[in-house]
Structure 1
Amino acid sequence: MATQALPLEKRGSGTAIHIKSAKEFCSYMPPRPGQDISQTENNAQPFCTNTNLAHGSKKFPGGFIKSAHFKKTSNYVQVTGRIDRSKYRLSSRDGGGQYDQKDLPHGTCNGWRYFVNLIEPDADVFCIRCCKESKDCNTGISSRGCERIVPGSYN
């Protein structure tokens, strides 16, 4: 009996997502509108500005991304910015949560194993950083929020 393997970019939880610029990037989000971030940390859905950036991704809802700022170094690549939570019916009472390789173990970001991705509906901010090494993606302080974990522009 022959079996078919799933494509490499989609085995188990997580998928291969990409960040190329402030106009071409992905972020994990709840699979359905209105779900709390923290309750979907192990079954998140990739959303992208262009669905070609991740297998099985959805396009960000129109108007959801209000601003995006790109930064690239030899050790990491990131996008930080603002969202309009109402465009995906996220709650203003949702303090957010963190998506990372611990909850989505088969996910990669720009081909790297390490990533940290927060959505904070109560503050209308988001951030994602893909890292070559775990030390550049601090996943242990999610309660401190985007601005502490992924320093960058949030205007």
Structure 2
Amino acid sequence: MVSGLFIALAASSYAAAQSFVSDPLIDKVVPYTAIPYQVDQHTADRGPQHGYNICNSTTEGQSSLCQTGFVNHLDDFCLFAPPELSTIGDTEGIEVAYCTKPGRGTRLIPEGTFKGVQLVKSPGYIQIVGFIDQTKLNIQQGDFGGELDSGGQDGRGNPIGGLVYSNNLPGSSGNDSFVQSRHWTFFIGGDQFCLKVCDSSNPNAGHLCEHIYDRIGCAYNAPNNAQQNVFESCEGEDMMPVGTYVSGGQTLTWTQPPEGVEPVPPYTPTPAASSNCVSFQSESLFAAIASVTASVSESASASTITSTNSNGQPTTITRSVSSSARGSGSGTASAAGAANTNDGVRAMGISIVAGVSGVLLSALVFA
């Protein structure tokens, strides 16, 4: 089998450290019935939250700036991606939600985006991995992407203020009962994605959805058996926490090196055991988005949103999207994956530096 190693090198004109906030997003318990208009109230360093978290019929559409996502089932989940055609490294702080079903107040994922998707439900998390046409999600062709998560370089998350909910985690009582996942991680780029939302009540959630391995991509953060043109839902066991491996009978932990040093883990990741896999036809899974087309040239330069604030009062706000409002990058964004193979999203993506320029120079080394 041919394996690929993509090394993404980016020139960065922005390397200033971000101050870590005293109230990080990962610590914010936000019941689904009490979502604020914007969960992030900071303005320093990377600026204010770009979008909003209260999303409904008035915000739904392909210019939505909703930053609340859902991960429920194989036919019902959301991805975060740029509001306008760009790279992940250039917009990590302002990504918006794209979902497979209407009714979430978000943008809808265009028809033909998915080329194969695997969902694995384990005791500790839901993991979804897939092959995509990323240009339909406003991600520039050739961009090997990066990591988005509920941590972020300053604790505000990427996107800033991004919330994720599920009706398929412990604590949910049905389809309309959503529980928050405060620990989630998501890589997208290289025409692939992998996302993992962890059960926040699980004491190991922070390790299963670790945020400190942003430069080693899907292969290590979400080992999987996803395949091109296969759409399946499986049950599975929890993976070993990222960076943890067994050698010589001992359980060891590898730590990602600092920027400028190529991260080379001393172990090969192995997908956790899975069973009871059920295959589906993509047409039946994503019928709700069969008529949605990609409009990457469409600019969400301004949108008027009518919503309701925490006091139940209607609120109308006009939000704008411009290059000056984009996330500056932190120097920690990473490639999401590499070569598409029929053996799964296993190739390792590594980004040495990501910055405001968003210019990625990729090199492919075959082994």
Is the contact made by 2:83 and 2:138 (CA closer than 8 Å) also made in structure 1?
no
* Residue of structure 2 equivalent to 1:141: 213
* Residue of structure 2 equivalent to 1:3: none
Could you say which structure has the higher helix fraction? 1
| Cα distance change on mapping 1:61 and 1:137 into 2, 3 Å | same
- State the Cα distance separating 1:105 from its structure 2 match: 4.1
- State the Cα distance separating 1:71 from its structure 2 match: 0.9
Measured against aligned partners, the alpha-carbon deviations of 1:79-106 in whole angstroms (never above 9, x if no partner) come to 1010012334533331201111122345
| Cα distance change on mapping 1:90 and 1:18 into 2, 3 Å | closer
* Residue of structure 1 equivalent to 2:198: 131
After TM superposition, the runs of 4+ consecutive aligned structure 1 residues lying more than 6 A away are: none
* Residue of structure 1 equivalent to 2:247: none
| Cα distance change on mapping 1:109 and 1:129 into 2, 3 Å | farther
Is the contact made by 1:23 and 1:68 (CA closer than 8 Å) also made in structure 2?
no
* Residue of structure 2 equivalent to 1:42: 93
- State the Cα distance separating 1:131 from its structure 2 match: 0.9
Measured against aligned partners, the alpha-carbon deviations of 1:86-128 in whole angstroms (never above 9, x if no partner) come to 33453333120111112234523421101101111x3x11011
Aligned length, in residue pairs: 144
Unmatched 5+ residue regions in structure 1?
1-6
Q: Secondary structure of 2:76's partner?
A: coil
Is the contact made by 2:150 and 2:185 (CA closer than 8 Å) also made in structure 1?
yes
Unmatched 5+ residue regions in structure 2?
1-33, 41-48, 54-66, 152-156, 167-179, 200-204, 228-367
Q: Which has the larger radius of gyration?
A: 2
| Cα distance change on mapping 1:39 and 1:94 into 2, 3 Å | same
Q: Secondary structure of 1:18's partner?
A: strand
Partner of residue 72 from structure 1, selected from 118, 121, 124: 121
Normalization by structure 2: what TM-score?
A: 0.37
Partner of residue 8 from structure 1, selected from 35, 52, 55: 35
Distance in 2 (alpha carbons) for counterparts of 1:97 and 1:10: 27
Task: Write the letter of the residue equivalent to 2:77.
Answer: F
Alpha-carbon RMSD across the aligned residues, in angstroms, is 2.0
| Cα distance change on mapping 1:85 and 1:46 into 2, 3 Å | same
Task: Write the letter of the residue equivalent to 1:108.
Answer: V
- State the Cα distance separating 1:10 from its structure 2 match: 4.6
Is the contact made by 2:81 and 2:137 (CA closer than 8 Å) also made in structure 1?
no
Which one scores higher on RCO, CA 8 angstroms, separation ≥ 6? 2
Task: Write the letter of the residue equivalent to 1:28.
Answer: F
| Cα distance change on mapping 1:28 and 1:106 into 2, 3 Å | closer
Normalization by structure 1: what TM-score?
A: 0.81
| Cα distance change on mapping 1:71 and 1:9 into 2, 3 Å | farther
Partner of residue 23 from structure 1, selected from 75, 87, 106: 75
Distance in 1 (alpha carbons) for counterparts of 2:161 and 2:207: 17
Once the two structures are superposed, the pairs formed by residues 85-104 of structure 1 within 5 Å of their partners are 85-88=134-137, 90-102=139-151, 103=157, 104=160
The percentage of counterpart residues that share the same residue type is 24
Is the contact made by 1:112 and 1:130 (CA closer than 8 Å) also made in structure 2?
yes
- State the Cα distance separating 1:130 from its structure 2 match: 0.4
